[in-house]
Amino acid sequence: MPLKLPHTPAINTRALAGIGLLLAAVACFAVLDTTTKRVTAEVPLLMAVWARNFFQAIFTSALVLPRQGWSVLKTNHLAQQITRGLLMVSVTVLAFSSLGVMPVGEFTAIVMTTPLLVTLLAARLLGEHVSPFRVALVVGGFLGTAIIVRPGGGAVSWHSWHMLLPLVLVAANTAFQLLTSKMTRTETTMTTQFYTSWIGAILSSIPLFWFWTTIANPYLWLGLLLMGVAGAVGHILMIMSFERSPAATLMPYMYMQIGFAMLGGWIIFDHLPDHLSLIGIGLIAACGTAGGLLTLYERRLSQ
């Protein structure tokens, strides 16, 4: 008699796939942030914001239009698409401004308070179930972030006005993440990415009529191109992850972006984390591992 393997419900398989897609997405975002800090040391901020959005829009169009044609423009909620595009531009400007005054690792650590807010708000605004243990995992990741930043011991003073930039960014990014999770219920991945990319490209192109700067170094153009590609791929993967897993399940894994950012800072800027930062990274990794084990346990119970 042949061995009959237990059936695994599609929802759990999709949840695990969503986690994998999210990890790939945050790796892309770490590449984007590291490249941005390097490029904006020589390229004006508005030029960098434009290039990031423009190249992302071109890359997205080259990927989407041959497969879907102009049917990609069909949307059930145009107002939400426009709002997401506006939020994306706001997040980009705030992120690039923050990276101009902060190391990549410290910047990423502060931004990673976003998953805490998203997880806590997902239950109230999106009607998603958030277990106490998952909330504890997110809080644990937040504590790891606090250890890395260390008020009074980081690279930027907590009394500096520069600290307002990433804090406002966290608020904008939280709204962006929640809206993304809501839109995946009615919108397709490529339609959302297409609208977001071109809204960002159009809005960021307007200031160039007054602030265009000639860039002669081809390596800087390669960096700008990499920013656009990394941003496009990262956001497509992020949308796909939200399609497969609820926001509360995904948020603990967002903290892995800190590890990727630390790696990028070491490779590009020769910035090594100190012992306390390594403790914070270890705490974040432990929370992520516990979240993975919880997902596997829930999957087993549902078989």
Q: Express each pLDDT in 232-250 by its tens digit.
A: 888 889 888 888 887 767 7
Summarised one tens digit per residue, pLDDT across range 261-296 is 888 888 888 877 778 877 877 887 788 777 766 765
* Predicted confidence band of residue 199 (pLDDT cuts 50, 70, 90): very high
* Predicted confidence band of residue 133 (pLDDT cuts 50, 70, 90): confident
Distances (CA, A) of 116 to 20, 143, 182: 20, 10, 17
Summarised one tens digit per residue, pLDDT across range 83-101 is 999 998 999 899 888 888 7
Domain ranges of the chain: 10-301
- What is the model's pLDDT at position 86? 93
DSSP-based three-state secondary structure for 126: coil
DSSP code, position 237:
H
Q: What angle (nearest 5°) sits at the alpha carbon of residue 104, between those of residues 29 and 109?
A: 80
Given a cut of 60, is residue 3 above it in pLDDT? no
Mean pLDDT of 8-18: 67
Given a cut of 70, is residue 176 above it in pLDDT? yes
* Helix, strand, coil shares, percent, the chain, to 5: 80, 0, 20
Mean pLDDT, the chain, rounded, equals 80
- What is the model's pLDDT at position 222? 92
Given a cut of 90, is residue 31 above it in pLDDT? yes
Given a cut of 60, is residue 9 above it in pLDDT? no
* Predicted confidence band of residue 298 (pLDDT cuts 50, 70, 90): low
Specify burial of residue 180 (Cβ count, 10 A radius: 0-12, 13-18, 19+). Answer: buried
Given a cut of 50, is residue 107 above it in pLDDT? yes
- What is the model's pLDDT at position 299? 59
The Cα 49–Cα 25 span in angstroms is: 19
Q: Label residue 152 left, alpha or beta by phi (over 0 means left) and psi (-120 to 50 means alpha).
A: left
122, HSE (Cβ side, Cα atoms, 13 Å): 28
